[in-house]
């Protein structure tokens, strides 16, 4: 990798059936969140649904839906998410990955940091308001063929919420689980890794019974909101260096606290980041942990937010500035940081992901989770393979070769799919980039080009239902009675 030894943080995710203890021999989960707004990133950072490899993760989670003022589910990006009104239908294309990988579970997440807490507090306040919310979720999941729902309320009893949110969130989980059990759906949550927030927000024994598994966000412990450097996701405290609150701002403390408060280890999924957080140093000569830094690092070209770089942006920067970056690893943090003059970035690489996988296995956790797949080196531009972080975690948690998409059979009312032999490149030059492409001779047929590295693609062929044809601009099948193709 361009002569650099780079580190990738990996985490293991854990999931179990509610109320049922499973042994450590239970297959581990690899849960992967997708930030759907990545479709709007420029250049090599653009990540659409078809950039995913549906064989990598055991669970894919689409982020995000939101909450309307009346406490019902709302869609945040109608044009990208839905196929109605000439939309791009990203959610339908997302759940269609189950046609390629029948073992895959696909969930929809609601919430996230930007949604805040106030509306969620109002929604969870009474049994009637919770029922109104649940009744808005279930038909949507059914319509778009999701396998479950992920609650990412950040956070109950915080950020404008009520003290009673702790009890109300537990009731929400219990009531949703009762409904979901009748449909065979999964109910999960993304939860805080901060000890004060855990104690304030979660009735841990109750939600542990209701949720199939719990995604612990063991990242964002440090970042540009602070005036000194530290790692985004340290595994452990640094003895005699970390003091005060920073002694528990790490992954091991968070997981131990969840377990101590009553969550079975096998229900906990360890969060890992495919991104890093960084600063602009006040003085280039002070470049270790706790170095004074009053400004975040400059924005990356794709994520375009000061203080945060995707792993793909980190590797790109190293390649563009060869020999200028010094990479440092601390045995307790167990993940690297790098500096170049006044630029300082903490991140995770393949080596650190391997360490997190080992922790998941040793601790008996349910698996690992990534936030989020679209900032891995998904093109493989600076790595020996595409998705190096995800693939490292998959090999460690699940083992064996990563399968290629098999031929599938589907409901006759749904688009049918068949996987063609892997071309390298396709003999007809069909695939030149990831994504959906029309068939050049039959407008009822379209293809999904799935990158597998080295300029090669798996080609998945879809047939539109009778009476419909493929509209390339909308990337959906629709009714068409005109001559020729649209």
Enumerate residues 6+ apart whose C-beta is below 8 A from 29: 12, 13, 14, 15, 58, 59, 213, 269, 366, 367, 368, 369, 397
pTM: 0.82
Q: Dig out the tokens for 409 from the structure.
A: 């059979």
Burial category of 409 from C-beta neighbours within 10 Å (exposed 0-12, middle 13-18, buried 19 and up): exposed
Would you state the pLDDT for residue 416? 38
Would you state the pLDDT for residue 479? 63
Beta bridge mates, 343 = 280, 340
Would you state the pLDDT for residue 37? 97
Would you state the pLDDT for residue 25? 63
**C-alpha 41: how far from chain center:** 17
- Which DSSP string corresponds to 80-142? HH--GGG---HHHHHHTHHHH-TT-EEEEEEE-GGG-SHHHHHHTSSHHHHHHHHHHHHHHHH
- Annotated active-site residue 154? The verdict is yes
From 83, 115, 154, 316, the catalytic residue = 154
For 177-210, give the secondary structure using H, E and C. HHHHHCCCCEEEEEECCCHHHHHHHCCHHHHHHH
Are the CB atoms for 23 and 219 separated by under 8 Å? no
Pairing outcome for strands 435-438 and 445-453: antiparallel
Q: Closest Cα partner for 24 from 366, 436, 416, 486?
A: 366
For residue 13, CA distances in Å to 59, 111, 186 come to 10, 20, 15
Q: Dig out the tokens for 41 from the structure.
A: 């990133």
CB atoms near residue 440 (< 10 Å): 12
CA angle 59, 434, 30 (to 5 degrees): 15
Enumerate residues 6+ apart whose C-beta is below 8 A from 338: 314, 318, 325, 326, 327, 328, 344, 345, 347
Q: Closest Cα partner for 118 from 72, 71, 151?
A: 71
Q: Closest Cα partner for 405 from 49, 56, 48?
A: 56
> pLDDT tens track of the chain, all 486 residues?
333 333 322 333 333 333 333 334 689 999 999 999 999 999 999 999 999 999 999 999 999 999 999 999 999 999 999 998 889 999 999 999 999 999 999 999 999 999 999 999 999 999 999 999 999 999 999 999 999 999 999 999 999 999 999 999 999 999 999 999 999 999 999 999 999 999 999 999 999 999 999 999 999 999 999 999 999 999 999 999 999 999 999 999 999 999 999 999 999 999 999 999 999 999 999 999 999 999 999 999 999 999 999 999 999 999 999 999 999 999 999 999 999 999 999 999 999 999 999 999 999 999 999 999 999 999 999 999 999 999 999 999 999 998 886 543 333 333 433 333 333 334 467 888 877 888 888 888 888 777 666 677 777 777 776 667 887 876 677 667 677 788
> Is 242 in a helix, a strand, or coil?
coil
Domains of the chain (ranges; CATH) run 7-397 (3.20.20.80), 416-479 (no CATH)
């Amino acid at each position: 990798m361009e002569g650099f030894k780079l580190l990738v943080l990996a985490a293991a995710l854990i999931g179990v059936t509610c109320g049922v203890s499973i042994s450590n021999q239970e297959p581990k989960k690899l849960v992967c969140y997708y930030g759907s707004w990545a479709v709007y990133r420029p250049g090599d950072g653009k990540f659409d649904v078809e950039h995913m490899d549906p064989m990598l993760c055991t669970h894919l989670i689409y982020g995000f839906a939101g909450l309307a003022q009346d406490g019902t589910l709302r869609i945040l990006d109608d044009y990208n998410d839905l196929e109605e009104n000439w939309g791009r239908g990203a959610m339908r294309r997302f759940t269609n990955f189950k046609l390629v990988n029948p073992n895959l579970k696909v969930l929809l997440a609601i919430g996230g940091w930007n949604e805040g807490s106030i509306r969620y507090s109002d929604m969870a306040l009474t049994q009637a308001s919770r029922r109104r919310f649940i009744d808005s979720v279930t038909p949507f999941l059914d319509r778009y063929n999701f396998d479950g729902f992920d609650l990412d309320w950040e956070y109950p009893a915080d950020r404008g919420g009520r003290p009673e949110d702790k009890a109300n969130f537990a009731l929400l989980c219990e009531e949703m689980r009762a409904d979901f059990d009748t449909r065979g759906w999964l109910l999960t949550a993304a939860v805080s890794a901060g000890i004060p927030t855990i104690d304030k927000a979660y009735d841990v024994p109750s939600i542990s019974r209701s949720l199939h598994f719990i995604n612990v966000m063991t990242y964002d412990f440090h970042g540009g909101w602070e005036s000194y450097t530290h790692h985004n996701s340290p595994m452990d405290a640094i003895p005699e260096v970390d003091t005060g609150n920073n002694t528990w701002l790490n992954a091991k403390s968070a997981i131990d606290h969840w377990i101590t408060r009553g969550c079975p280890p096998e229900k906990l999924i360890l969060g890992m980041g495919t991104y890093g957080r960084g600063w602009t140093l006040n003085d280039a000569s002070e470049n270790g942990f706790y170095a004074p830094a009053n400004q975040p690092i400059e924005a990356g070209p794709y994520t375009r937010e000061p203080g945060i770089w995707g792993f793909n942006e980190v590797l790109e920067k190293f390649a563009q500035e060869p020999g200028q970056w010094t990479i440092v690893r601390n045995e307790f943090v167990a993940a690297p940081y790098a500096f170049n003059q006044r630029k300082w970035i903490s991140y995770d690489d393949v080596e650190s992901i391997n360490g997190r996988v080992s922790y998941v296995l040793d601790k008996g956790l349910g698996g690992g989770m990534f936030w989020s797949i679209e900032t891995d080196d998904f093109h493989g531009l600076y790595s020996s393979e595409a998705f190096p972080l995800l693939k490292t975690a998959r090999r460690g948690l699940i083992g064996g070769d990563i399968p290629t998409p098999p031929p599938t059979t589907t409901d006759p009312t749904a688009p049918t799919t068949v996987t063609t032999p892997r071309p390298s490149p396709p003999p007809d030059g069909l695939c030149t980039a990831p994504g959906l492409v029309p068939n050049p001779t039959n407008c009822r047929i379209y293809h999904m080009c799935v990158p597998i590295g080295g300029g090669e693609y798996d080609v998945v062929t879809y047939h539109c239902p009778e009476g419909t044809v493929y509209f390339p601009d909308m990337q959906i099948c629709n009714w068409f009675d005109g001559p020729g193709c649209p």
